[in-house]
Amino acid sequence: MRVLLTGGTGFLGRHLTLAHVRRGDEVTVAGRRAPGDVTALVPAGVRYLQADLGDPETAPRIIAATRPERVYHLASAVDVRRDLALLEPQIRATQMAAIHVARACLEHGVDRLVHAGTCEEYGNGPAPFHETQNPAPVSPYSAAKAAATAFVRMLCASFELRAVMVRPFLTYGPGQGTNQMIPALIQSALECRDFPMTGGEQTREFNYVDDMVDGLLRAGDTPGVEGEIFNLGCGEPRHIRDVALRVLELMGNPVRAELGKLPYRPGETWEFYCSNAKARERLGYRAAVPLDEGLQRTIAWYRAAHPGVRS
């Protein structure tokens, strides 16, 4: 099968790319990075195309050239800050890029588009989040994502676009950047530095990346679900402080989590987790990797990736 992934050099995109390579598929990755910057991010045998999907001519050109049977649109400008300066950049790089990809898929007859929205679309809505509840975005990024999902859904309903929309929830695993809590904490522990954080009373769900890839593959493979939205997540809320303390415990408690040293963000969302009943019923989706196992795999990867760092 011919597969096109936008955003395929990102954390989740890299793991999804590998999954399709292992299936024996012909994979093309499109992203904003220059070709010389992706050598370590794109597996051998995968074609890479530099692309500005905010340009309305780019997506049609790429899809016409690669003739994919399946497209995953993961590309966006992930920045959850509540900053007015991000309005126009998010409209172009997140909202319009998604619309351009969806329209190109429609016009070129792509068999299945998997459009990746975000759990951030639910914003400050009541948890657990259900696919039928109204989005409540709280940042330019989450608003742009919610608008993109609405446009893709409209194209399905009114123009017969063959697309499935998913909302991935918080994901962790090997190779994630240290701008996220779990890899940042592991890195801090490996370097024997105490880890400053908030009081960690918020609840979040934590999904191992292999489970998220499985959900994306199911969204692409399952027949008869075009036009539907699915939450992808385990739906198991945990206090952030408990997860942080468990990471350190699994590493032998080399440092302390400095709970309460950092303030909570203005407008902090206290409960943030999904109902995954629809994905379980329609996609056969189950989160298979328990938290402890996922954390152990992730810790082992970072230790192997930084053998010169002691803990």
pLDDT at position 266 is: 84
Query: Taking residues 87-91, what's their average pLDDT?
Result: 97
Question: pLDDT tens, 214-239?
Answer: 999 999 999 999 999 999 999 999 99
Question: pLDDT tens, 250-292?
Answer: 999 999 999 999 999 888 899 999 999 999 999 999 999 999 9
Question: pLDDT tens, 32-49?
Answer: 999 989 988 999 999 999
Query: Is residue 308 predicted with pLDDT exceeding 70?
Result: no
pLDDT at position 164 is: 98
- CA 41 and chain centroid, separation: 16
Q: Which residues pair with 208 in a beta bridge?
A: 172
Least confident of 34-38, 88-92, 106-110: 34-38
Q: What residues have CB less than 8 Å from 220, skipping those under 6 apart? A: 70, 72, 112, 114, 164
Ordered by start, the domain boundaries in the chain are 2-168, 177-205+236-305
In this prediction the pTM is: 0.96
Q: Which residues pair with 207 in a beta bridge?
A: 171
Could you tell me what percent of the chain has a pLDDT over 70?
98
How many helices (H) and strands (E) the chain has is answered by 10, 14
Tokens 């995968």 belong to: 46
Residue type, 80: V
Report helix, strand or coil for 132.
coil
Query: Is residue 302 predicted with pLDDT exceeding 90?
Result: yes
First to last CA, the chain: 44
Classified by CATH at the fold level, domain 177-205+236-305 comes out as UDP-galactose 4-epimerase; domain 1 (3.90.25)
Pick from 206, 227, 216, 211: nearest CA to 274: 206
Query: Is residue 197 predicted with pLDDT exceeding 70?
Result: yes
8 Å CB contact between 230 and 279: yes
Question: pLDDT tens, 118-140?
Answer: 999 999 999 999 999 999 999 99
Mean pLDDT of the chain: 96
Could you tell me what percent of the chain has a pLDDT over 90?
95
Q: Which residues pair with 26 in a beta bridge?
A: 2
The one-character DSSP state at 252 is: T
Classified by CATH at the fold level, domain 2-168 comes out as Rossmann fold (3.40.50)
Q: How far apart are CA 174 and CA 210, in angstroms?
A: 10
